[in-house]
Structure 1
Amino acid sequence: MTVRVTGRVVTPAGVIRQGCVEINNEQITAVAEYPSGRDGHWILPGFVDIHNHGGGGHTFTTGDADEARAAAGFHLRHGTTTLLASLVSSPFELMRAATIAYRPLVAEGVLAGIHFEGPYLSVARCGAQNPAYLRDPSTEELTELLELGHGTIRMITLAPERAGATAAVKLLTAHGVVAAVGHTDATYEQTQAAIAAGASVATHLFNAMRPVHHREPGPVIALLEAPSVVCELIADGVHLHDGVLAFATATAGAERTALITDAMAAAGQPDGEYELGGQTVTVTTGVARLAGDGAVAGSTLTMDAALRHAVATGVAIPEAARMMATTPARAIGLGDRVGALQAGLRADLVVLDDDLNVVRVMRAGTWLD
């Protein structure tokens, strides 16, 4: 049975003002003009969030499969049809348990994979990561996790200045796992070495990184200038000043920018106290901070809200769609399956009204409602 979804279709080539997406079963079969006399709603590819710790009161960080399913369901209602479950720094036992627990969810398609944000991170730039769990990269640990995961692990964030980081990057990339640079006090040269070894993603660029200095550019400049690196940006007006967001998106371009949420369990929930990696987080007026030192601790963002914020700062909708779907899908090796409205890809799409609020969500050819 063929289903047709009509409206302002946002494709990799631009906007079809009066267009149609044809779907058969789980796959897009055609995208074409469909004159209807009106533009209709916006139709964008389903969002791809490659950095997300939870939402709707549920978390990915504990390795609980039921929690993970509920968190993914919350973000699906906000248009995120492909999602990595991100864990914060934790003991190796929890990393093992989470890999085993989430493997069936990846096989089922609820999750696109696991992202371990740590524990191989800088103490000086730990941000909201629990310093008690930070340590040097271990190829022994990573080898065991990769064997347990059977392809479940998609990305691992590490600090390139830590002992053993280069060997870890090479091991990960050899197994098809994305090595990301983040929570780092690395120099410009240390970051370049990680990129040369195969690191290809910048974890929430600017945040929890050595700041730019005109005599020591640090990781930010090395990552921004590298043509092989996709730069994550949190478009919530809290993690980045809008001027920095505009600068970074203009510098990296839509082909190298991935908008992410870095959301935690508090996304979509009231202000109050929450937990992240064994630490208390206080959410006030939607901003999450560690109860101890006040460090920003993830976000309460959803991808549809990130889209609205990015567009409000001047990002055109076609470029925003690439940053929220096409580029992140490619960054984690899924660009041949999801991330764009084009024939042959999975039928994931988000229908939005003129104010870019979610009207309907389709995943794998099935409407959420």
Structure 2
Amino acid sequence: MLTGNILTPDGWRYGQLQVEDGRISCLDARPCNPAENEAPYLLPGFIDLHVHGGGGADTMEGGTAIETIARTHLRFGTTSLLATTMTAPPSDIEAVLRGLGERIEDRPAGAARVLGVHLEGPYINAGKLGAQPNFACTATLAELDHYLSLAPIKVVTLAPEIASHREIIQALSRRGIRVQIGHTLGSYEDGVAALEHGAHGFTHLFNAMTGLHHREPGMVGAALAHAQYAELIPDLLHVHPGAIRTALRAIPCLYCVTDSTAAAGMPDGEYKLGRQPVTKCLGGVRLADGTLAGSTLTMDQALRNLVRIGLPLEDAAQRLSRYPAEYLGLTDRGRLSPGSWADVVCFDRMLNLQSVHVEGEAHDFTHA
């Protein structure tokens, strides 16, 4: 049983949340204004749909790396996530997907739930690699069918301007896979056409895509004008707060991701992002040439950053939980209501993380 200011789908409620068999069994709570009491905040557990690593481990390492990643991010309020791959040779991607497919079904104690895979590349534009290694290629349904047989791929990032990719978008969308536009040199018109063919969102909005100009709106313009969903990295390095606020006004269900690397939750030093060596320093992760290469962001810090730039706590929280859950079509995560999984994060009044409950399993971080 947990007591505090509970953020429900119907707004704030003060009272008790009861858990049974890993799910919320009852809410005994009344409407409230949290400003009128000193009780902690109980928020839906965070859902991160773009995670490359954490705790020194990288998804592309395979083996037990995903367990290290899931345990690391649990410490920062993430209760479920998508293991995210890098652009790489087919043999590397196949090996990683095969390993993930064997490990995802069971959640180890003390770890976030891995919901599936975000395949970020290799179907991207070689002219907008960002920190991706140059193994970009054109998608084929045969190859994607093979990858889908190995692991539960939930999201695929691709560049829609590449020949045949519109048909790929249409085919994946029909199968319920969320196709995101990213690492692209495509035009505004390419973005609109991709959305019309079934693309659902945009990968790390503003980053690794054509920008907004008043005579060439670019892919950013397509997102701002037409998107219902898009992911964004709110570490305040990848995107200026003013641009974040612009996106918030334009995209109804803008949600936030970490795009975290092995350096998340670790001290400054040298790490790997796929095949690329990266350096963590001054709060960021960069390639040798200075290019941003993922982040060190954690979801609890993402919450604080959103509040810092002016979002109400309840709005910030739903962009880390409810919207990513709805994007994946999940009805029993990302919300605190009877029948949902008991994925709960508890914060004190200064927005310090106190405890995390994943599928009812409790972890206390008050002395961490």
Q: TM-score range by the shorter chain?
A: over 0.9
Q: Is the 8 A contact 1:12 1:318 kept in 2?
A: no
Q: Is the 8 A contact 2:22 2:359 kept in 1?
A: yes
Structure 1 counterpart SS, 2:176: coil
Q: Is the 8 A contact 1:139 1:167 kept in 2?
A: no
Structure 2 Cα separation of the partners of residues 32 and 226 of structure 1: 40
The structural deviation recorded for 1:122 is 1.2
* Residues 84-103 of structure 1: pairs in structure 2 closer than 5 A: 84-103=82-101
Structure 2 Cα separation of the partners of residues 280 and 104 of structure 1: 27
Structure 2 Cα separation of the partners of residues 348 and 170 of structure 1: 33
Q: TM-score, normalised by structure 1?
A: 0.93
The structural deviation recorded for 1:243 is 0.9
* Residues 1-369 of structure 1: pairs in structure 2 closer than 5 A: 4-16=1-13, 18-33=14-29, 38-62=37-61, 64-109=62-107, 110-131=113-134, 133-149=135-151, 152-227=152-227, 229-253=228-252, 256-291=253-288, 293-334=289-330, 336-369=331-364
The one-letter amino acid of 2:133's match is: N
The structural deviation recorded for 1:191 is 0.8
Structure 2 counterpart SS, 1:50: strand
Q: Is the 8 A contact 1:8 1:39 kept in 2?
A: no
Q: TM-score, normalised by structure 2?
A: 0.93
The structural deviation recorded for 1:105 is 2.7
The structural deviation recorded for 1:98 is 1.5
The one-letter amino acid of 2:280's match is: V
The structural deviation recorded for 1:240 is 0.6
Structure 1 vs Structure 2 CA RMSD: 1.6
Structure 2 Cα separation of the partners of residues 98 and 262 of structure 1: 18
CA deviations 1:76-135 (Å, max 9, x no partner) are 11110010000110111122112211113321144110111101111221100112x111
Identity of aligned residues (%): 39
The one-letter amino acid of 1:281's match is: V
Structure 1 Cα separation of the partners of residues 336 and 224 of structure 2: 27
Structure 2 Cα separation of the partners of residues 249 and 155 of structure 1: 22
Structure 1 Cα separation of the partners of residues 88 and 37 of structure 2: 52
For structure 2, which runs of at least 5 residues remain unmatched after alignment?
108-112
For structure 1, which runs of at least 5 residues remain unmatched after alignment?
none
The one-letter amino acid of 1:52's match is: V
CA deviations 1:246-280 (Å, max 9, x no partner) are 12112223xx1111100000011111221112122
The number of equivalent residue pairs is: 356
The one-letter amino acid of 1:279's match is: Q
Q: Is the 8 A contact 1:347 1:365 kept in 2?
A: yes
Change (3 A) 1:166 1:35: closer
The one-letter amino acid of 1:172's match is: L
- My pick for the range that moved more, 170-179 or 78-87, is 170-179
Structure 2 counterpart SS, 1:112: strand
CA deviations 1:286-325 (Å, max 9, x no partner) are 211111x211000000000000000000111111111000
Structure 2 Cα separation of the partners of residues 236 and 38 of structure 1: 30
Q: Is the 8 A contact 2:211 2:221 kept in 1?
A: no
The one-letter amino acid of 1:115's match is: H
Q: Is the 8 A contact 1:11 1:341 kept in 2?
A: yes
Structure 2 counterpart SS, 1:68: helix
- My pick for the range that moved more, 265-274 or 303-312, is 265-274
- The aligned counterpart of 2:110 is none
The one-letter amino acid of 2:5's match is: R
Change (3 A) 1:76 1:237: same
Structure 1 counterpart SS, 2:189: helix
The one-letter amino acid of 1:54's match is: G
Structure 2 Cα separation of the partners of residues 171 and 358 of structure 1: 41
Structure 2 counterpart SS, 1:70: helix
- My pick for the range that moved more, 134-143 or 343-352, is 134-143
CA deviations 1:55-92 (Å, max 9, x no partner) are 11111122x13111011100011110010000110111
- My pick for the range that moved more, 276-285 or 338-347, is 276-285
Structure 2 Cα separation of the partners of residues 78 and 11 of structure 1: 21
Structure 2 counterpart SS, 1:314: coil
The structural deviation recorded for 1:35 is 9.6
